[in-house]
Structure 1
Amino acid sequence: MSSFQQRKAIGDAHEQRVTHELKQRGWHVSPWGQGVMGEPVRLALHHTTSSLRWTPDLIAARERQVVMIDCKSRMTSQTSRRHAVERAAVTAHLQLVAWTQLPLYYVFDNLDLLTPHDALGYGQEGPRTTAGSGTPYLLVPATRALGFDDVFGPPAAGALQAVA
């Protein structure tokens, strides 16, 4: 399996987990972003500087509330306890939030949440990497993260019994 296929499989699993967690809390979730685009379109976008490259992975609604979600798998350092978000993604997401007037959350493997404003305000630029797009990352202390249940609510009582 190629490294892209491995990263995609890990990312897909994280998106499925986040979708499951949201549904347990009464949210309706739909895939969005590059995950629903055909391969030729996704590849062409990869070679542009368009903000569409950073379209969030999921869109969710509960009652009249709508949120956008960008799942971040393997983007937390276990040693420094900082979450990493590409600076270009943060810029694109700040524009998207302004345009749509909808909140956007980054959801990390441990279900920590950050907003683009959090990443910009609390993040420090990290070293450039050859992985991904090669753009600079903002490193945000995990202590600045929001709790999943605090934002999306606790799982419904029936969902807890189904897990037990």
Structure 2
Amino acid sequence: MGEPVRLALHQTTSSLRWTPDLIAAQGQQVVLIDCKSRMTSQTSRRHAIERAAVTAHLQLVAWTQLPLYYVFDNLDLLTPHDALGLGQEGPRTTAGSGTPYLLVPATRASTFDRIFGTPDGLMAA
């Protein structure tokens, strides 16, 4: 999606605003990836995800029947279901859409290697 479209969508409430960053495939497995850089508090060790994004992503998962993963800087992974089930609503901020964030303890996240395997394991597949 081009930058002009992304900027225009940012001014709407359309679920397309939260289109995942990547579509990845290994063999027959296809997944959607939404990158979350700088979305982990270094003091509270919680990952933050906008509630509106989680809602849009739950709809996208239902529609596409593909898994979606939030990938954080340290390669922790959460799904929209994880965020909804494990997250606690944080304070409203002026960042992003202005909607509340769900805050999920980093200790509840899965690791990239646990879900997708190690580079050695990927090479052997």
- In the superposition, the TM-score normalised over structure 1's length comes to 0.72
1:108 is matched with: 72
User: 1:75: Cα distance to partner?
Assistant: 0.4
**Aligned positions of 1:10-21 closer than 5 A:** none
1:133 to 97, 112, 121: 97
Mapped to 2, the partners of 1:39 and 1:111 lie a distance apart of 26
Counterpart of 2:36 in structure 1 is 72
Distance 2:72 2:3 in 1: 25
Q: Percent identity?
A: 88
Structure 1 counterpart of 2:52, from 88, 94, 103: 88
Please give the alpha-carbon distance, in whole angstroms, between the structure 1 residues aligned to 2:92 and 2:69: 23
Instruction: Supply the RMSD in Å over aligned alpha carbons.
Output: 1.5
User: For the pair shown, which has the larger CA radius of gyration, 1 or 2?
Assistant: 1
Pairing 1:153–2:120 present: no
Q: TM-score, normalised by structure 2?
A: 0.94
Unaligned runs of 5+ in 1: 1-36, 160-164
Residues 1:123 and 2:94 aligned together = no
Unaligned stretches of 5+ residues in structure 2? none
- 3-state DSSP of counterpart to 1:68: strand
Q: Pick one of 19, 39, 47 that aligns with 1:55.
A: 19
Task: Determine helix, strand or coil for the equivalent of 2:119.
Answer: coil
* Secondary structure in structure 2 of the residue aligned to 1:119: helix
Which residue of the partner structure matches residue 42 of structure 1? 6
* 1:29-66 deviation line (CA, Å, top 9, x unaligned): xxxxxxxx223222221111100000000010011000
What is the rounded CA distance, in whole Å, between the counterparts of 1:40 and 1:77 in structure 2? 30
Give the number of the structure whose residues are more often helix, by fraction. 1
Q: Tell me the matched-pair count.
A: 123
Please tell me the residue identity of whatever aligns with 1:101: Q
Match of 1:156, SS? helix
Cα offsets for 1:69-116 (capped at 9, x unmatched): 000000001111100000000000000000001000000000000000
Higher fraction of strand: 2
Alpha-carbon distance in structure 2 between the residues aligned to 1:139 and 1:64: 33
